[in-house]
Amino acid sequence: MLPLNYADANGQTFGLHPAAADLQTLFNGSNCAFVANVGTMVNPYPYGADSYFGRNGKPKVKSPPQLFSHNDQQIQWQTSVPDKPTNTGWGGRSADMINAAANGTATCSMSISLGGQNTFEIGTLVTEYKISSTGATSPTGNFGSGAASQLQALNDLIGYRPGDAGYTAALDVTQLHKNLYEQSYATTSRNGINLAGVVNSATGSISNTDPIFASFNALYNNNLSGFAQQLRMVAKMIKARTTLGHKRQVFFVKMDNFDLHSAQGGAIGTHANILRDLSRGLKGFFDCTKAMANPDGGNYSTQVTAFTVSDFSRTFPINSGMGSDHGWGNHQLIVGGAVKGGKIYGQFPNLIINGTLDTGTGRWVPTTACDEFYACLARWFGVSTTDIAQTILPNIGHFANNLDFMS
């Protein structure tokens, strides 16, 4: 284990997996913190597993539906509304609250996804704009040429001409198409093509060998993983924020392959490799925010916060395949210069099989709601406490809501 410079009120000390050396550096440098045993909840479980099962004379607390299911729990973590269906995510609802004041007339959405379509960034007014780790994508023709090319056929269909920054009477989609669906498709496609040009122009001039990426390149020996490439593009979008008209941005990146039901490994192996990637990526990204000059003064290290979200932890014991199975409460990371780092927030679970927090096979009942975790982040981002309670996190009133890991 890699020791952390931290002990809780009982004198208990903690350490990290040996593959997470860069997270150790961030934590011991007070730029990283953990929130322990976080999970989806509708209400607190005051008696731990007794509240979950309704045993020993304790009332049974309502649980989120479809616990231990990846798809359902991913949605619940991204919406933070586990007790009823919703079409929006808490990041999107937060963006709805501040976009107009923060970003004015910016044409590019403030919610940018490097990890594909997601629920987290969907709001009522703001939704995600998806790009890849190499930039925004535009249609290209791969058959025919000139007037007979596939690309020209698409342009004719949607009434688009290269450099079209608006609509002219000759290219008006209402004249090209009478069907409202066709008009909407043409308008969305034209806007997407134009926006891709704006985004790629703003980020394309930032070289992958720019000095701000020195830490990234060194940590990965100039061979960045897919996760690190996503974070590198996030850094480029942050650097281009003034060109894009943004004062606030929300990003979504994705990292897979933690569902290790077999051959998980220990100090080495599959799990170690992805933890090493996570550790390097977050350290490289933080170093990048420190190296980037902010036009408003200083650098971005205190104005950018990265945090992890995972649908659930893994079971504490190993299974017959030398892997682990679906859990519940789990630990989350927060990284950035504004983080009150070097601490573990929340209640670390007692790691006892069939103990007071175990629903069975080492699945810990959460002691901190994801709502509480998100509320602290939303306040730092600039969302009012009223909007958090009424719109962003409608169940926050059920919990203590006293986490304070951001300055």
DSSP string, 293-304: BPTTSSBSTTT-
DSSP 8-state code for residue 391: I
DSSP 8-state code for residue 259: -
E strand map for 181-228: none
Pairing of strands 250-252, 306-307: unpaired
Distances (CA, A) of 127 to 77, 107, 161, 187: 17, 12, 26, 16
Residue type (1 letter), 92: G
Dig out the tokens for 353 from the structure: 């099989």
pLDDT score at 123: 97
The Cα 13–Cα 63 span in angstroms is 32
pLDDT score at 298: 96
Distances (CA, A) of 262 to 164, 266, 320: 53, 12, 8
Bridge partners for 132 per DSSP: 135
The domains of the chain are located at 2-130+213-398, 146-202
Place of tokens 């994801």: 370
pLDDT score at 164: 67
User: Do residues 238 and 248 lie in contact, with contact meaning Cβ atoms separated by under 8 Å?
Assistant: no
The Cα 86–Cα 89 span in angstroms is 8
* Residue 285 CB-half CA count within 13 A: 31
Give pLDDT < 50 ranges for the chain. none
Indicate the pTM of the whole model: 0.94
User: Do residues 319 and 304 lie in contact, with contact meaning Cβ atoms separated by under 8 Å?
Assistant: no
pLDDT score at 159: 82
Dig out the tokens for 213 from the structure: 């990426």
Architecture of domain 2-130+213-398: 3-Layer(aba) Sandwich (3.40)
The Cα 126–Cα 252 span in angstroms is 14
Q: Which residues, at least 6 apart from 397, have a Cβ–Cβ distance to it below 8 Å? A: 389
- What is the edge-to-edge ordering of all strands in the sheet holding 129-130? 129-130, 111-113, 250-252
How confident is the model over 230-274, as pLDDT tens digits? 999 999 999 999 999 999 999 999 999 999 999 999 999 999 999
Radius of gyration for the chain, computed over Cα atoms and rounded to the nearest angstrom = 23
The Cα 394–Cα 95 span in angstroms is 16
pLDDT score at 310: 94
How far is residue 188 CA from its own chain's centroid? Answer: 25
